[in-house]
Amino acid sequence: MLRTSLCDLLGIEYPIIQGGMAHLGTAELVSAVSNAGGLGVIGSAAASPDWLTKQIHLTRDRTDKPFAVNIVLLAPFLEENLEVALKERVGIVIFGGGNPSAYIHKLKEAGVKVISVISSVALARRLERFGVDGIIAEGMEAGGHIGEVTTMALVPQVADGVRLPVVAAGGIADGRGMAAALALGAQGVQMGTRFICSEECIAHLGFKERILKAHDRATVVTGGTTGHPVRCLENKVTRQFIALERDGVAKEVLEEFGMGRLYLGVIEGNMDEGSLMAGQIAGLIRGIKPAKAIVEDIVAEAEEVINKLEEVVHG
């Protein structure tokens, strides 16, 4: 069985984490991934404390397996949602979107496992000193908010730079990607785009179909001038956003232009005016399957790839 130190840390069967996707990391998907042996993650993003509390309760109604809450450091209800996680005794918190050093000690005191998404070796080392339990090294291939370094380059450097379990994220959607991540020194993988195309994900069918039709260059990066670049499937609104950036409009104008676009796209299904956050690996995804099948297929393929590599190495 494909089992690593990440499984022991989080109490899961397979070293697969579902990305904490805004609007899509709901109880339906979270519980399905956790029941399949991975780690489901509630994506709180800009959601209210009431929404997060409800999602935690719904998830617990559907699974008795470990799951996590993703906390975005730029979110308007950051402090309140952290208090919800503590009050509801969530066992694992995954931070994204910055440096969570100020919040680590309080969570650790409460017995919470703390993992942070990073895009640089320097931040990984800093967070190790502050006591995080694991690192998710996310390359720029990922969907949503991204850094500047690719997964292939980032993961081995982070693995060499810290003594913690490292999870690879960005550009992974099958067993080959998982095997490659393990070869780079990771102890597991995080996937977002692949789980969008699961039966349990509440994403609009039109969005899922756009992913299934995607090719290797179907995504673009917007928001570089704001300091918060985002990768999405190219559509009318990304072209408009890029044109505004080219014209040098103010950051505030860009932020207002982007307000509410993600929900409009991924939930309401407006493929032209909505934001469709997805990673470059979208071009590899060709089917909608139950989360359990996704997890089991990826693990089986990864084991097959690893066995073949061992045969090649040992003759």
Q: Specify if 207 maps to a domain.
A: no
Report residue 158 CA to chain centroid gap.
17
Same domain, 35 and 93: yes
Indicate if 220 and 194 belong to the same structural domain: no
Q: In this structure, is residue 219 part of a structural domain?
A: yes
Domain span at 148:
5-200
Cβ distance 167 to 187 under 8 Å?
yes
Same domain assignment for residues 159 and 195: yes
Q: Where does a domain end: 174, 200, 226?
A: 200
Any domain includes 104: yes
In single-letter form, the type of residue at position 129 comes to R
Tell how strand 92-96 and strand 166-169 pair up: unpaired
Q: Which of 171, 200, 229 is the last residue of a domain?
A: 200
- Residue 105 to residue 112: CA distance in whole angstroms: 10
Please, are residues 159 and 186 in contact by the beta-carbon 8 Å criterion? yes
Q: Give the position of tokens 């910055």.
A: 98
In CATH, what number is assigned to the domain containing residue 176?
3.20.20.70
Residues 85, 224: one domain?
no
Query: In angstroms, rounded to a whole number, what is the distance separating the alpha carbons of residues 171 and 185?
Result: 16
User: Burial letters for 230-253: b for 16+ Cβ neighbours within 10 Å, e otherwise?
Assistant: bbbbbbebbeebbebbeeeeeeee
Number of domains in the chain: 2
Angstrom distance (rounded) from CA 184 to CA 153:
9
Whether 140 and 193 share a structural domain: yes
Whether 85 contacts 103, CB under 8 Å: no
122 and 235 within one domain: no
- 152 and 234 in a single domain? The answer is no
Residue 130 lies in a domain: yes
The DSSP output letter for 224 is G
d(CA 268, CA 264): 5
List of E strands, the chain:
16-18, 40-43, 67-72, 92-96, 113-118, 134-138, 144-145, 166-169, 188-191, 219-222, 230-233
Chunked into runs of 10 residues, the chain (315 residues) has average pLDDT values of 93 98 98 98 96 98 98 95 98 96 97 98 98 98 97 98 98 98 98 98 98 98 94 98 95 94 98 98 98 98 93 79
Question: What was the pLDDT predicted at 13?
Answer: 98
Question: What confidence score (pLDDT) does residue 310 get?
Answer: 82
159 and 241 fall within a common domain: no
